[in-house]
Amino acid sequence: MMAADQPMHGVPPSLSAKVVGSFAYLTVKDRLPTILTKVIDTIHRNKNKFFEEYGEEGITAEKQTISLLSKMRNELQTDKPVLALTDGLGKDIDYWNQYLQRQQGVQGDQESVSWFKSPWLYVECYMYRRIQEAVWLNPPINDYDVFNEGKTQSFFESQQAVMTLCTYLEGVNKNMEETSKSQLLEHFNKLLKVSLWGNKCDLSISAGQDNSQKTSPIDSLNSLEPFILVDDSNMVWSTLISAQRQGQSGKTTSGRVDIVLDNAGFELVTDLVLADFLVASGLAREIHFHGKSFPWFVSDVTANDFQWTIKQTMAANHKWMSKSGVQWQSYLKEGVWSYHDHPFWTLPHEFCDMAADAPDLYATLQGADLVLFKGDLNYRKLTGDREWDHTVGFDTALRGFGPAPLCSLRTLKANIQVGLQPGQAMKLCSQDPDWMTSGKYAVVQFYSPNSEQ
């Protein structure tokens, strides 16, 4: 495993809060402490609930969790060294502690691996792991999801948009038999873009503020088109088409699509709707969803969120929404859809480390015909969260990561972007200085290992 920021020929340094005034700096200085304060507040507000469930033990656990979190907030704000994990509870602990040791080797000594001096990707991931450590160390509240309230709220606030989307899906699926290939392509493009823009709705960029979808997701698509900086959706389409094979019986079978999920709430619904369409249209045979094994980056999907969302959709008091939920549940039951998690998704590693550090996960992804990576954090990990020139190719920034044809569906919320045309970034900078962090722009960026010479 390479530690981040290791000097390597031609590979730029990691983004870091050590660059005063940078987006990384502002995130570590302001946004992360705000998130931590909200977590502390949430736990405190739920004190009575813990008491009702567990009595005095619940209250003691609440106090101890808060004290560990306040301690961490203080370490962060005073730029203290990153500490080894102590919970001994996750399968991931050795990976985290080895990563820290390597960072110490790269950055010089123990002192220098601190919150502001280390790679941003590393310390930001580490904060979420330390939140989990504080919770895990405190039974009986150790299975409490500190971000659950925000995730469920964002789902309920997007109800109108979810209903619109499920109604649209019903219209598409109902006429599938008579759909021509060009109509199919049109539906595919729409639902891929809905899933793309669904990524605007994460809760971590807004430090937990309301960020739900209020307008019709289908109607907004045309006006959003100019904000897509790279659009490789035609390559995603052709990958799906070329994965279709004629079976012996003359029946066509299609490929497997893996979706590396990002946020719960509206974004997850857009991903489920896309997955439903891919199966119903025969563009995919099987969908594997990948989520997080513990609460992560405020709004990311865990197994619990995944099941909860499908149950809520089933139980909705809206004909097409509940029909969709029932369909999704049966896809899961039949194994057409499956949900997976792996500790690697909640490690700080760049994805180019996956083949060496999580070979089982890499091999799993190799079984897919297409892997869709949702969201900003996945993009940061795909590209290593490094100071790449904007015109560097996506393939270069992936640094050998390519288990299968892959596509990033991401709205820009961090100052990294590769694969742009010469001059494109300069123009954006002059029109809209916040273009990389506002979530207003997006990319559909594709790479296939099969097209390598």
Ligand X SMILES: O=P(O)(O)OC[C@H]1O[C@](O)(CO)[C@@H](O)[C@@H]1O
Task: State the residues that interact with ligand X by CB under 6 A.
Answer: 27, 31, 124, 199, 202, 204-205, 262-263, 297, 375-377, 380, 413-414
The partner in contact with residue 31, picked from ligand X, Mn ion, none with C-beta cut-offs of 5 to 8 angstroms by kind, is: ligand X
C-alpha separations of 72 from 82, 134, 137, 153, 304 in Å: 10, 9, 14, 27, 26
Distance, in Å, from the CA atom of 367 to the CA atom of 72, rounded to the nearest integer, reads: 40
Interaction of residue 305 with Mn ion, rule CB under 5 A: no
Closest to ligand X by CB, 235 vs 377, is: 377
- Among candidates 412, 419, 453, 450, which has minimal Cα distance to 434? 412
Q: Spell 182-215 as b/e; 16+ CB within 10 A means b.
A: eebbebbbbbbbbbbbbbbbbbbbbbbeebbbee
- Supply the minimum distance, in Å, between the C-beta of residue 399 and Mn ion: 23
Structure tokens, 199: 């990524």
State which residue, 285 or 290, has the beta carbon closest to ligand X.
290
The single residue among 262, 267, 276, 353 that binds Mn ion, judged by CB under 5 A, is 262
Residue 139 Cα to chain centre, angstroms: 28
For residue 225 the two structure tokens come to 């088109």
- Least Cα distance to 119 among 21, 14, 6, 12 occurs for 14
* Minimum distance, C-beta of residue 368 to Mn ion, in the bound complex (Å): 21
* Residue 414 binding result from ligand X, Mn ion, none, given CB thresholds of 5 to 8 Å by partner type: ligand X
Least distance (Å) from ligand X to the CB of residue 205? Answer: 4
The DSSP string of 64-112 is HHHHHHHHHHHHHHTTPBPPPP----STTHHHHHHHHHHHHHHHSSTTT
Q: Is 385 in the site for Mn ion (CB under 5 A)?
A: no
Nearest distance from C-beta of residue 221 to Mn ion, angstroms: 22
Round to whole Å and give the CA distance between 202 and 267: 8
Q: Which is nearer to Mn ion, 50 or 296 (CB)?
A: 296
Please say which residue, 124 or 258, places its beta carbon nearer to ligand X: 124
List 361's β-bridge partners, or say none.
Answer: none
Structure tokens at 367: 């079984």
Minimum Å gap between C-beta 176 and ligand X is 31
Q: Which is nearer to ligand X, 197 or 401 (CB)?
A: 197
**67 Cβ contact list (under 8 Å, min separation 6):** none
Q: Does 300 bind Mn ion (CB under 5 A)?
A: yes
Q: Which residue matches tokens 């809760």?
A: 203
Q: Is residue 124 part of the contact set for Mn ion (CB under 5 A)? A: no
Cβ at position 158, least distance to ligand X in Å: 15
Report the partner that residue 213 touches, choosing among Mn ion, ligand X, none (CB closer than 5 to 8 A by kind).
Answer: none
Q: Using CB under 5 A, which residues numbered 191 to 230 contact Mn ion?
A: 202
Q: Which is nearer to Mn ion, 90 or 265 (CB)?
A: 265
- Smallest distance from the beta carbon of 411 to ligand X, in angstroms? 7
Report the partner that residue 199 touches, choosing among ligand X, Mn ion, none (CB closer than 5 to 8 A by kind). Answer: ligand X
Residue 297 in the binding site for Mn ion (CB under 5 A) = yes
Instruction: List, in sequence order, every beta strand (DSSP E) within 337-422.
Output: 337-341, 370-374, 406-411
| Contact range with Mn ion by CB under 5 A, out of 237-245, 297-305, 366-374, 429-437 | 297-305
92 binds, among ligand X, Mn ion, none (CB under 5 to 8 A by kind): none
> Residue 190's binding partner, choosing from ligand X, Mn ion, none, with beta-carbon cut-off 5 to 8 A by kind?
none
- Separation of alpha carbons 409 and 373, rounded Å: 6
Look at residue 210 and give its three-state secondary structure. coil
Residue 423 Cβ, how far from Mn ion at the closest point, in Å? Answer: 31
Smaller CB distance to ligand X: residue 331 or 441? 441
Minimum Å gap between C-beta 155 and ligand X is 15
Q: Could you give the CA distance from residue 68 to residue 34 in angstroms, rounded to a whole number?
A: 16
Count of residues that interact with Mn ion, criterion CB under 5 A = 5
CB-based closest residue to ligand X: 413
Q: Which of 102, 98, 162, 89 is nearest to 130 (CA)?
A: 89
Binding site for Mn ion (CB under 5 A): 202, 262-263, 297, 300
